Structure 1
Amino acid sequence: MRFSVRLNNDLPAASYPQLAHAAEQAGFDQFWVSDDLFLRGVWPILTACALATQRIQIGTCIVNPATMHPAEIAMQAAALDELSGGRFNLGIAAGAAEFLGWVGLEQRHPLATVAETIEILHTLFAGHAPSPPWGDQARLRFATRRIPIYLGATSPKMVRLIGALADGGLPLLFPPEHYADVSAQVHAAAIEAGRLPTQIDLAACVWVSVASEQEIARDALREKIAYYAPALSDAILSRLGVERAEVAAIGAALQVSRDMARARALVDDRLMRIGIAGDGTTVAARLDGLVALGARHLSFGPPLGPDPLRAIALLGREVLPRMA
């Protein structure tokens, strides 16, 4: 069994090295940080995390080719992999249409763009120049390994691309029990592509909030859902039985009125199904279901809890030993 931690890039930058070290001490195998627009940039954060740890793998969760050119992604990834001693994993995705819209970008042909980006990155990591329109001088000037590429996905087509092209998958499971469908799609796509499904590190990515008191844990998850609800895909909303207008109201409370209390109040039990909140026993019981569905990599996503540092320690003490 593999365990990982995923955090948004909304915490104080100086806190991440301590969190990465805590995750390493708690027994986690991977430490991922997002790169959502207008929050703290992921590359300096992960650089500090690499220098603060010895064993744990670090990764982007995720970067996208719309706001960062694949050449620059390859440069940053290869440098960070070198700095960390080969502990870097590159998580990429198409980027959320909601966030891209903030800077006037449209999510055009996301599937084809991501597939092309994966191929380009593999070519660059191999020391070669991608095919035209890239020129023959478009290659890294230093050697690197074939850095593992993990694909973030929510839509069925993007999930299948994990099986076809990626080394690993970071599918957001909203709700967590959606793992059964995601796993089946990845396995089928891998077989169609002539690959062994067992070669793909498919993470069961769930949002978790753990604390000794149930309601405190639920409040932390509710706030995280409120921030990201407007960016949820139609497919996710359909699974939850939530209308687009309902999450738009949450977005208006945050982005227009700047009223987090109002936004939290609009996050009902249907949206709370997105994640797992409670004490260690409650969280472990929900995760038992994922393990029964075949999950072999449990990825604990934000907010982790009202206090992420304490949550990491609690997960390592009360949850990971039960899952191992």
Structure 2
Amino acid sequence: MTGLGAVFRPQLPPERLRAIARLADQAGLEELWLWEDCFLEGGISTAAAALAWTERVRVGVGLLPVPLRNVAVTAMEAATLHRLFPGRAILAVGHGVQDWMGQVGARAESPLTLLREHLLALRALLDGERITTDGRYVKLDDVALDWPPEAGVEVLAGATGPRTLRLSGEAASGTVLHAGTPPEGVRRARRLIDEGRESAGRTDPHKVVVYLLTATDATTATTATRATTATRATGPDATARLRAELEAEGLVSVPDLGVAGDAGAVAKAVERLAEAGADTVILQPTADEPDPEGFVRFVATEVRPLVP
């Protein structure tokens, strides 16, 4: 079955998270994803709060920029979340936006080397190993977690370029692809990930998570549905919002990217990504989504039943 989720975008103030997380839990949403974008909201702090406010929804952070974090701190925080909320936390790490990393004085000369060293050390620490390493960026002297996760956990990597996609296949448990990835981009990513897996002799599963930029009209409830659910449809407003966001990201010329439509249209877009190799598709509302709560309900109650 294709996994399905939604993004709580950090353009919303942190105080909106509680209501949306609880709604996601109650509506049956499988995964609620958060971002650690500079200079908006912290990934670990929001994930911990969302997990504490809910009972069953899985909470993902996609992603934690490794230049901002000592790997021992990443491991400590990840292990704590996994022990407090077993099976419900999903964490991805990545390069981060290089301009932002430069703004805070953390830009690495070789982002790929840093990510490789961080991934290998993080996975080892979360597996309960005691490690000493003297890499270019990651330096640990006889470090082990006192409270590692009680079961093996996934460490995902955000990746875009060929070298990072191969690295993710080699050193991560899964890959997160941003919303600028059309179905053909997912196929290409899978091939590169598999090249990395083959070079490292990896045979374990490797999950691919893809964001899908999604726009629908503002929620409209009929008398029959007002008490239970809401219906969202396509229209000029949804199409215009999708196009505006693609233009802002310089992606308007990319074919088959994003979707503006009702539940049926969105489900078909999800299926195209799944057929291309996505295991989980996370619906990403536009930054100006007028009804974030309605969007989460739409994903859980209208799109989910249409996705195999």
Greater mean alpha carbon deviation, residues 176-185 or residues 291-300: 291-300
- What is the aligned partner in structure 2 of residue 143 from structure 1? 148
Partner SS, residue 61 of structure 1: strand
- What is the aligned partner in structure 1 of residue 226 from structure 2? none
Rounded to whole Å, the distance in 2 between the matches of 1:43 and 1:312 is: 21
Rounded to whole Å, the distance in 2 between the matches of 1:203 and 1:314 is: 20
Matched, 1:206 2:212: yes
Rounded to whole Å, the distance in 2 between the matches of 1:132 and 1:296 is: 34
Letter of the structure 2 residue corresponding to residue 310 of structure 1: G
- What is the aligned partner in structure 2 of residue 160 from structure 1? 166
Is the contact between residue 150 and residue 167 of structure 1 (CA under 8 Å) also seen in structure 2? yes
Partner SS, residue 122 of structure 1: helix
- What is the aligned partner in structure 2 of residue 34 from structure 1? 35
Partner SS, residue 31 of structure 1: strand
- What is the aligned partner in structure 1 of residue 52 from structure 2? 51
Shift of 1:36: 0.8
Question: Which residues in structure 2 correspond to 1:179-190 (within 5 Å)?
Answer: 179-190=186-197
Change (3 A) 1:291 1:143: closer
Partner SS, residue 66 of structure 2: coil
Is the contact between residue 8 and residue 35 of structure 1 (CA under 8 Å) also seen in structure 2? no
The number of equivalent residue pairs is 285
Is the contact between residue 216 and residue 306 of structure 1 (CA under 8 Å) also seen in structure 2? no
Is the contact between residue 214 and residue 279 of structure 1 (CA under 8 Å) also seen in structure 2? no
Matched, 1:69 2:70: yes
Partner SS, residue 23 of structure 2: helix
Matched, 1:218 2:259: no
Partner SS, residue 62 of structure 1: strand
Is the contact between residue 208 and residue 301 of structure 1 (CA under 8 Å) also seen in structure 2? yes
Change (3 A) 1:164 1:76: same
Shift of 1:31: 1.9
- What is the aligned partner in structure 2 of residue 310 from structure 1? 294
Letter of the structure 2 residue corresponding to residue 60 of structure 1: V
Rounded to whole Å, the distance in 2 between the matches of 1:116 and 1:135 is: 11
RMSD between superposed Cα atoms in Å: 2.5
Greater mean alpha carbon deviation, residues 183-192 or residues 127-136: 127-136
Is the contact between residue 6 and residue 33 of structure 1 (CA under 8 Å) also seen in structure 2? yes
Matched, 1:194 2:178: no
- What is the aligned partner in structure 1 of residue 175 from structure 2? 169
Deviations 1:12-41 (A, max 9, x none): 212223322333344432222110111022
Structure 2 spans left out of the alignment, 5+ residues: 218-232
Partner SS, residue 23 of structure 1: helix
Deviations 1:265-287 (A, max 9, x none): xxxx4279642223323322322
Deviations 1:80-102 (A, max 9, x none): 22222342122100111122122
Letter of the structure 1 residue corresponding to residue 297 of structure 2: A
Shift of 1:54: 1.6
Letter of the structure 2 residue corresponding to residue 185 of structure 1: L
Structure 1 spans left out of the alignment, 5+ residues: 230-236, 241-268
Deviations 1:59-115 (A, max 9, x none): 211112211211111111112222223421221001111221222333421112111
Is the contact between residue 32 and residue 59 of structure 1 (CA under 8 Å) also seen in structure 2? yes
Matched, 1:301 2:284: yes
Change (3 A) 1:35 1:225: farther
Whichever structure has more helix as a proportion of its residues is 1
Change (3 A) 1:57 1:213: same
Deviations 1:117-176 (A, max 9, x none): 011112222333332344545322223243311111111111122211211110125242
